[in-house]
Amino acid sequence: MENLSLYNHDRLPTVGLGLWKIPKPDAAETVHDAIKAGYRHLDSACDYGNETEVGHGIKRALSQDLCKRDELWVTSKLWNTYHKKEHVRPALERTLKDLQLDQLDLYLIHFPIAQKFVPFEVRYPPEWLYENSKESSQIQFANVPIQETWTAMEQLVREGLVRNIGICNFGTTMLRDLLTYAEIHPSVLQVERHPYLVQAKLLRFCQEANIALTGFSPLGAGSYLELGMAEPGDSVLNETLIGEIAGSHGKTPAQVILRWGIQQGASVIPKSTKVERLRENLDVFDFVLTDLEMASISKLDRNQRFNDPGVFAEKAFNTFCPIYE
Ligand code: A2P
């Protein structure tokens, strides 16, 4: 339960640390604290803008022998501006350099959205806009089929630069298409998942296709409040049901929600910069939710997605960019 076995028998630790939104000044310390607390799975991305600092944290932990490199699972993600085949390898090499690693355990396509290329010298990470100016404040798309990107990702596995490849923010339709041409099987699909967005069919599809599912934002709305992407009433942590179940197991609401997340055979990557919460979020292996508790938590489903380019891209970048419909 503490690891998920992937199609190739690699083992993905079920609870990882999500590194999105960890401010640069905190990132090295948080990574070091997390590894010290027992985390063996880090979920990074070019777009998070903190890979250099994350690399410092990893280096410090490894040099203190808190764990060995081969005991640590490091994921990163290919940003939207690097989907063309000639940009995939340089993007990965930049991530490896920043993280001070010579191999990733997992490299994911961050979004099924291809944007116009922005050279490293112009801006890194390039984020969502082609030009960082008010005159050109829309997303500029590029015509790159996912197959081209995937084939270039496969080459990274063949060259030993990454052990596994996968995708984020895909639904079953795109996965079905990918599986028709993939020569190297996608190890992991990463999507938003919490009790308000249960994704039951997607999880079942992935399990039948031998693709591990990682849920980001597994605690729900919390981190979206400060981004203006959720309302205070959207917090699943405050559900009476969750509080009652937590009380009966002597655990916290966050631990119950994370336990629900992993007990169906998925992995979770909660973010926190607080040492107490890092420990709390990893301490979910000493209790089991009953079938009834699991089912009642799943019934909280509202199909409510907080991280949706079809919503935030219009507000922030004046560009209508739905991908889930
Ligand atoms: P903090 O970093 O201050 O602990 P994400 O959705 O990216 O996984 O972010 C998780 C959000 O939930 C963050 O805002 C984080 O804030 C907060 N959080 C993390 N762990 C806990 C916890 N155990 N209880 C309550 N909130 C948590």
- Measured in angstroms, how far is the CA atom of residue 295 from the centroid of ligand 1? 24
How far does residue 97's CA lie from ligand 1's centre (Å)?
28
pLDDT reading at 191 higher than 60:
yes
**CA 74 to ligand 1 centroid distance, Å:** 20
Confidence of residue 1 (pLDDT cuts 50, 70, 90): low
What pLDDT is recorded for position 133?
Answer: 65
Q: What is the pLDDT of residue 135?
A: 56
Distance CA 88, CA 148 (A): 10
Check whether 226 has a pLDDT greater than 70.
Answer: yes
The response to whether residue 227 sits with its C-beta less than 6 Å from ligand 1 reads: no
Question: Is the pLDDT at 171 greater than 90, yes or no?
Answer: yes
pLDDT of residue 317: 92
* Burial grade of 315 (CB within 10 A; 0-12, 13-18, 19 or more): exposed
Phi/psi of residue 150, nearest 5 degrees: -65, -40
- pLDDT by residue (tens digit) across 92-148? 999 999 999 999 999 999 999 999 999 999 999 999 998 876 556 899 999 999 999
Beta strands of 110-221 (E only): which ranges? 162-168, 188-192, 212-216
Task: Kindly report the protein residue whose alpha carbon is nearest to atom 19 of ligand 1.
Answer: 272
CB 16 within 8 Å of CB 73: yes
Q: What is the pLDDT of residues 62-82, one digit of tens each?
A: 999 999 999 999 999 999 999
85 pLDDT exceeds 70?
A: yes
The tokens for 180 are 């028709």
Give the pLDDT confidence score for residue 146 in this predicted structure. Answer: 98
Ligand 1, closest atom to CA 253? Answer: 24
Contacts of 247 (CB under 8 A, 6+ apart): none
Q: By mean pLDDT, which of 1-5, 115-119, 200-204 is the weakest?
A: 1-5
The response to whether residue 222 sits with its C-beta less than 6 Å from ligand 1 reads yes
Catalytic residue status for 82: no
Nearest residue to 113 (alpha-carbon basis) of 316, 320, 298, 290: 320
Average pLDDT rounded to a whole number, residues 8-31:
98
Nearest atom in ligand 1 to the alpha carbon of residue 277 is: 23
Whether 277 lines ligand 1, by a CB cut-off of 6 Å, is yes
Q: To the nearest whole percent, how much of the chain has pLDDT over 90? A: 95
pLDDT digits (tens, 9 = 90+) for 246-290: 999 999 999 999 999 999 999 999 999 999 999 999 999 999 999
Q: Which residues pair with 191 in a beta bridge?
A: 215
Sign, Cα dihedral of 108, 111, 117, 121? negative
The alpha carbon torsion through 305, 306, 309, 314 (nearest 10 deg) reads 120
User: Is 217 close to ligand 1, i.e. is its CB under 6 Å away?
Assistant: yes
Please give the number of the atom of ligand 1 that sits closest to the Cα of 220: 6
Alpha carbon 95 to chain centroid distance? 16
The pLDDT assigned to 91 comes to: 98
pLDDT, residue 283, reads 98
User: Is residue 20 within 6 Å of ligand 1 at its C-beta?
Assistant: yes
Give the tokens for residue 106: 């997992």
- Residue-level pLDDT at 137: 82
pLDDT at 224 (0 to 100): 93
Mean pLDDT of 186-191: 98
Quickly state the pLDDT bin for 294 (edges 50, 70, 90).
very high
Span from the CA of 221 to the centroid of ligand 1 (angstroms): 9
| Torsion of Cα atoms, 163 then 164 then 168 then 172, to 10° | 180
pLDDT value of residue 134: 58
Question: Catalytic one among 7, 39, 48, 124?
Answer: 48
Query: Is the N-terminal amide bond of 90 cis, ω within 30° of 0?
Result: no
Q: What is the mean pLDDT of the chain?
A: 96
